[in-house]
Amino acid sequence: MNAALTAAAAFVMLLAASYCVAIARLWIAYGATAVRSAWWLPYAEGRALLRQSAAPPSGRDRLLFASAPWIAIMTVSLAALVIPVGPALVAFDPSIGLFYFIVVLGPFVVAMFCAGWSQNGKNGLFGAFRAAAVLLAYEVPLGFAAIGPVMDAGSLSTVRIVEAQSSLWYGAWQPLGVAIYLVAALMMSYTHPFDIPQSEDELGGGVFAEYAGARLLIFRIALDALFALLMAMGVVLFLGGGDGPLLPAPLWFFVKIVALAGVTLYAARRFPRLRHDQMLSLSWKILLPASLVNVAIVGVLILVR
């Protein structure tokens, strides 16, 4: 029962963080003009989408088209179970928590692919293949970036990783790992500048081109929640989880997620939208070698210490 309540709390926190991510996106896109309205705009947009209905595309694959948004949101919800919101506040703490997190998030790309494939339209199809190409770009650097904290903590358990940072956050002495992780997280969550599968202008919405109403809303929530979740794992891996003075651990954890998300989105705003081949080049030519160097540096530092 305790685990169920903790899971529910983690899920609510995830939704709150994804709402904050949506606000941050508006602030970054519109600047000062959105300072006031951004607070309620995600809610109003959600409401407007819920009120709408649209004739689904003819010739679609009914099962895949209808299930894709649910696969996306379920994937994010399941992965959130291993996030330790505070000391002893984790719904599920397997010894392979980090591995579980990366593996369970894998089907998100399946949701994206199903969404694009099932529309019976070429725009969606191109978006689907781009989503699959992005998978090749982020998966390896993300895993290697996360190895640094695991090497020092000596465990894949997310709770153990947080506990191992009680004296010093890993982000303080693994800055390269943080940078690689954040870039890979942007790719994994299809966030600008790596949002080419959605290709808002070029392919009329890409994988989401034929989605409308509640299904589109679920997809948007899932995308924001995925980004928030990856930031949460970033906090676990590099910023000491809920560790902090005065405030309760869950509140610290929430503040850190929002701050990390805000900084990441703000830094990403200067980049133009990259093509998938540029993403792959970035991943295989820069991020992968850099992550191997990071692993070597961390190994040496652990030995020296």
Partner 1 sequence: MIGNAERIGLFGRGARRRPTKRFFAVDGGGGAHIVAKLAHLKPELRRVASPRHANLLLIVSPLSPMMREPLVEIARAMAKPSRAIVIDTDFAIGQVLDTGSLLPQAEHVSSASVAEILRRCFDEAIPPFELGVASEWHPDSLDLSNDSTEIETEEVVLSLGPSQPYTAGPLQMLLVCDGEQIVRAELQTRYAYRGVAEAMLGARWKEAAEIAAALDPLAPFAGRLAFVRAIETLQDKALNAERTAWRDGILARERARNTLWWFVRFADLLGLSEMTRRAHAIAVRLDDRISVSPGRGKRRPRLANGREPDISRLVHHVETLARDVTHDRLIALRCKGIGLLGVDEALRDGISGPSLAASRNGNGDVHARLVARLAAAGSDLRNAANAKLDVESRLSLDGSVPAGSVDVAVEGPRGTIGLTLRSNGGECPAHVEWRRPSAVLLKVLPDVLKGQIVADAEVIVASFDLAMAEADA
Beta bridge partners of 86: 89
As a whole number of angstroms, the distance between CA 16 and CA 234 comes to: 17
295 lies in the site for partner 1, by CB under 8 A? no
8-state DSSP, 283 = I
Which one, 5 or 39, has the nearer CB to partner 1? 39
Considering only residues 174 to 203 of the shown chain, the ones binding partner 1 according to CB under 8 A are 192-193, 195-196, 199-203
User: Contact with partner 1 (CB under 8 A): which of 140, 176, 273, 280?
Assistant: 273
User: Contact with partner 1 (CB under 8 A): which of 9, 136, 176, 216?
Assistant: 216
5 lies in the site for partner 1, by CB under 8 A? no
Beta bridge partners of 89: 86
From the list 44-52, 94-102, 249-257, 285-293, the region that binds partner 1 by CB under 8 A is: 44-52
Which one, 45 or 163, has the nearer CB to partner 1? 45
Single-letter amino acid, residue 284: W
- Residue pointed to by tokens 């995308």: 223
The H-or-E segment that residue 209 falls in is none
Closest by alpha carbon to 35, among 47, 43, 25, 27?
A: 27
Which one, 88 or 275, has the nearer CB to partner 1? 275
As a whole number of angstroms, the distance between CA 117 and CA 149 comes to: 37
296 lies in the site for partner 1, by CB under 8 A? no
Phi, psi of 222, deg, nearest 5: -60, -40
Query: Which residues in this chain contact partner 1 in the complex, by CB under 8 A?
Result: 26, 28-31, 33-34, 37-38, 40-41, 43-45, 47-48, 50-55, 122-123, 126, 192-193, 195-196, 199-205, 208-216, 269-278
